[in-house]
A and B are shown apart, each in its own frame.
Chain A
Amino acid sequence: MNQHLNVTLQFGGGIENLFSNKRTQNIQLPATFTPPNTDKPAPSNIQYLIQWMKQNILQEREELFIENDTVRPGILVLVNDTDWELEGEGEYVIQDGDEIVFISTLHGG
């Protein structure tokens, strides 16, 4: 079984500034993780991805990206060009080859 998932991350609306200014990043995400308060591994979901991003590629100002274990309100998330609200938000289980887009709306218009 493949231990890692190939995931493409895209950033927009200025949020790329927190991720070394790279608008696209291809990452290897562990296929499973151990949720807190359990010892059974679970398939990696977006909530885990966000924590992984914080630990591995988020360069600064984590409060601008994360709030209460999820993305800060005002940051939109798309999974394969679909609103994550239609895919279960943080509970969506990530597949190999998925593209996840994070767009910040928190700037002037």
Chain B
Amino acid sequence: MPSKACALCQTSRAILKRPKTGQQICKECFFHVFETEVHNTIVDAKLFKPGDRVAIGASGGKDSTVLAHVMKTLNDRYNYGLELFLLSIDEGITGYRDDSLETVKRNQQQYNLPLKILSYEELYGWTMDAIVEKIGRKNNCTFCGVFRRQALDRGAASLNVDHIVTGHNADDIAETVLMNIMRGDIARLGRCTLICTEGEDTIRRSKPFKYAYEKEIVMYAYFKKLDYFSTECIYSPDAYRGHARVFLKDLEAARPSAIIDIIHSGEAFELLDEVKKVAKAQQVCLRCGYISSNDLCKACVLLEGLEKGTSALAIVSCASLAQNLIQTTESAV
């Protein structure tokens, strides 16, 4: 097949077909549009202001490695005036996390950014390996997700940062929209497409790659020769998200714009008034002080469940369970 000229510069040879637009573009133009689109996402959403201290959630994987590279590039190029940090969480998954942390340490050298690593072990007294051994292979992601969210907030607080950025990409967000529909999780459905979330007691958290296709992130890393770690979490094959991912990949193969379109559908959802009323007001966890919808935050409820062996109940969101645990704690004192 004869090679085509780049649709943008008309000069160099096209090496990539963009899934988002179908355009056939050359390497340099690809770097430029990819980086510029992320810059536009950041500027349009007014994510940062000069002087902000920003922690990049870094796992050593493809998304966070490219995110660190692009944030540093854009910060320099457009003078965002940000102080950037790498923040990494060690969940204690042997053979997975210990290897990827080596990649983060290399990233620290390559991008010359300060790095902080926090572990579940030191924060909660439990590694994911220990948790899975206790509760089996179902619902692990529930524990891990809740713990990681809090761990990132605590790490960011200890670094005194104003903002956390994570590498969630368009594919991830589209998958989340689909998952929430499939599970009827209306509260999450209303929030999951927000580019920036902020709570009373939690640090602002944004997703600059919200509109960046996973394929382009991987191609960017490949052509820029960025070094990242790529193995599936050993506990993930049983995860519910896998169903949404497979479905989404098939949709993308048939019609590449499906990913962005699903995100736009998600953004357009509006909750009915009667549904909104059921949403709980935010309060503070009585045990650890973290933000919570109930008297005990989800992480504390899960931990109590682990300690007492009642973890199966803890998976289901239940305010009365939290109430029981508080009464038990109080009477034991």
Contact = CB atoms under 8 A, between A and B. Distances in A.
Question: Do A and B assemble together?
Answer: yes
A104 B230 CA distance: 9
B20 interface: no
B1 A86 contact: yes
B253 interface: yes
Nearest to A16: B230
A33 to B, nearest CB: 19
Given A109-B59, A109-B63, A13 B250 contact: no
Contacts of B214: 105, 109
B133 to A, nearest CB: 21
B222 A12 contact: yes
Contact of A108 (B15, B222, B233, B252): B233
B1 A108 contact: no
Nearest to B100: A108
B249 interface: yes
Given A86-B1, A86-B24, A108 B61 contact: yes
Contacts of B219: 76, 83
B167 interface: yes
A57 B333 CA distance: 64
Given A73-B253, A105-B215, A106-B232, A86 B61 contact: no
A108 B62 CA distance: 8
Contacts of B218: 13, 76, 103, 105
Q: Interface size class for chain A? A: 20 to 34
A92 B2 CA distance: 11
Contacts of A17: 231
B206 interface: no
Contact of A107 (B15, B61, B169): B61
Nearest to B17: A85
B61 A81 contact: no
Nearest to B214: A105
Nearest to A88: B1
Contacts of B64: 109
Interface string A2-14: 0000000000111
A34 interface: no
Nearest to A75: B249
A81 B15 contact: yes
Interface in A60-93: 72-74, 76, 78, 81-83, 85-88, 92
B215 A107 contact: no
B1 A107 contact: no
Interface in B22-72: 24, 59, 61-64
B332 to A, nearest CB: 39
Contacts of B13: 82
Contacts of A13: 62, 218, 230
Contacts of A86: 1, 3-4, 14-17, 24
B172 A109 contact: yes
Given A12-B230, A86-B14, A109 B245 contact: no
B236 interface: yes
Q: Which 6 pairs between the two chains have the least Cβ-Cβ distance? A: A109-B63, A73-B249, A85-B17, A109-B61, A14-B230, A83-B16
16 contacts: A12-B222, A14-B231, A73-B250, A76-B219, A82-B15, A83-B15, A86-B4, A86-B14, A86-B17, A86-B24, A88-B1, A106-B232, A107-B230, A107-B232, A108-B232, A108-B236
Given A13-B62, A85-B17, A109-B214, 9 more contacts: A14-B232, A73-B249, A83-B219, A86-B3, A86-B14, A104-B230, A107-B230, A108-B232, A108-B233
